[in-house]
Amino acid sequence: MIRPPEDRFRVWRRLAVGVTTVAALALAPVAASAQSLIRDAEIEATLRADSEPIFRAAGLNPADVKINIVNDAELNAFVAGGQQVFLNTGMILATENPDQLRGVIAHEAGHIAGGHIARSGDAMRAGIQPLILTLALGALAAFAGRPDAGAAILSSSNYFATLSVLSYSRVQESAADQAALGYLQTAGYSGRGLADFFRQYQFQEVFSQARRYSYFQSHPISSERVAALRTRVDAASNRDRTPSAESVERHTVMKAKLDAFLRPPGHTFVRYPESDTRFAARYARAIAYYRDAQPDRSITMIDALIAEHPDNPYLWELKGQINFESGRIAASEAPYRRAVALAPENPLLRVGLAQTLVALGPTKFDDAIANLQHSLARERDNPLGWRLLGQAYDGKNMPGLARLAAAEEHFHGNDLRGAFTFATRARALLAAGTPDHRRATDIVMASEPTQRELREMAREERVGG
């Protein structure tokens, strides 16, 4: 769940990776702060639809580029830790249309393809794992009045990580701009959005470094740069191509959803009044009523939207989420199942369904396990998925597999000591020579065991043999 800054669970935000910029041409680690990375199936799908043609045009494999959404109102975007793009919610909300956001993504792809990211040993070793704070899963039981249960979802996840962020020179910025325009042209998009976005913030060049938006601290802007962009855009064959109505609608819905989840309900009701009958506005109001502790009114509005768009998996997902977090666990199963049926390859939707199935108890554990295995096969670095799998295995009295799932959860959460502990326990419970036993051994070896621990493990192997 994307939570407003003032909500009573704001303390969880201190668990997450913080984002800042560094001095020009300097490379420095980013300390953890109050900002978190968030997940949402619908928003991620929108970003993927817009970005994958750009990544392919840049010669990048879209499957290898991860887009992370940072819950930060500051206007910023950057790449770090290899092929990882970070977009602040403030950046997404600041873009006026899909082409502007595509332009920003293409520019960041230019930095990746151009090799502008310096890699230090710390950056290579650091785990960059988002908090699984999803619009679909989010605070879960916490918003149903059970903060203890909600906190348990995150309690063992260590998401502090070191990010290495490069502040680029003007030469690199120009190179990334020119590359971005080429990618946009190849992808069939207009570069006008990128030029318009930078022109919109051209006034930043007169500010001191400290007063600039974070994005323009690390991506220096100038009148010459904007002029060069516009000259090339005006000469491009795609310059007057406009985004499709479908992509504009996706962008509008994405911004409305972020607005409704990140800002107080009162803000949403003002921004999207009852007189606004657009789909995005009604969607935002449904979310706002839910966040305003009016779940019945929210569900009524969502049902009306579903009646118009019965094949929209994200509406069904939201209905399942609201039922779950309002304590109506049984009522959440059917909407989540419908969401999964409509988008069976989406791993986050399956985790949402599995959350409900685990909560429903023993008769649903096998189904939960099947959905989690399907989800984790596509997205192995989801600690919440592993946590739920461990709970289901525990419920079925399968302690070896439960400890192995816990080891995976800690490993993908960058808690190597926790991963080592649970993987060691799993090895003691799993049959030697099986794939699960070998996986537990792999986690042990990858968790930086001490020489004493290695000797002890070898001794146990000899005794066991």
CATH number for 171 = 3.30.2010.10
Please give the pLDDT value at position 228.
Answer: 82
Residue 357 lies in a domain: no
Please give the pLDDT value at position 173.
Answer: 81
Alpha carbon 238 to its chain's center: 31
Please give the pLDDT value at position 117.
Answer: 64
Report whether pLDDT(123) > 90: no
pLDDT, mean of residues 247-276: 97
Please give the pLDDT value at position 26.
Answer: 21
Q: Which residue has the higher pLDDT, 364 or 176?
A: 364
Report whether pLDDT(346) > 70: yes
Give the chain's mean pLDDT.
81
Please give the pLDDT value at position 203.
Answer: 59
Report whether pLDDT(23) > 50: no
pLDDT, mean of residues 235-241: 88
Q: Residue 118 contacts by C-beta under 8 Å, 6 or more apart in sequence?
A: 27, 164, 166
How many CB atoms are closer than 10 A to CB 345?
10
Please give the pLDDT value at position 442.
Answer: 95
Residue 71 lies in a domain: yes
Residue 412: which domain range?
398-465
Residue 276 lies in a domain: no
- The count of domains in the chain is 2
Pairwise CA distance, residues 28 & 124, whole Å: 13
Please give the pLDDT value at position 15.
Answer: 24
Q: Which residue has the higher pLDDT, 452 or 181?
A: 181
Q: How confident is the model at residue 223 (pLDDT cuts 50, 70, 90)?
A: confident
Please give the pLDDT value at position 5.
Answer: 35
* pLDDT tens profile 64-111: 999 999 999 988 888 887 799 999 999 999 999 999 999 999 999 998
Report whether pLDDT(348) > 70: yes
Residue 202 lies in a domain: yes
Pairwise CA distance, residues 189 & 178, whole Å: 14
Please give the pLDDT value at position 239.
Answer: 86
Residue 56 lies in a domain: yes
pLDDT, mean of residues 351-375: 98
Q: Which of 452, 447, 395 is nearest to 424 (CA)?
A: 447
Report whether pLDDT(309) > 90: yes
- Residue that finishes a domain, picked among 221, 244, 267: 244
Please give the pLDDT value at position 225.
Answer: 76
Angle, vertex CA 96, rays to CA 92 and CA 98, nearest 5? 75
Q: How confident is the model at residue 35 (pLDDT cuts 50, 70, 90)?
A: low
Residue 115 lies in a domain: yes
pLDDT, mean of residues 162-184: 73
- Residue that finishes a domain, picked among 225, 244, 263: 244
Residue 452 lies in a domain: yes
Residue 83 DSSP code = S
Q: How confident is the model at residue 168 (pLDDT cuts 50, 70, 90)?
A: low
The string of DSSP letters for 291-319 reads: HTT-HHHHHHHHHHHHHH-TT-HHHHHHH
- Residue that finishes a domain, picked among 215, 244, 273: 244
Residue 207 lies in a domain: yes
Report whether pLDDT(294) > 60: yes
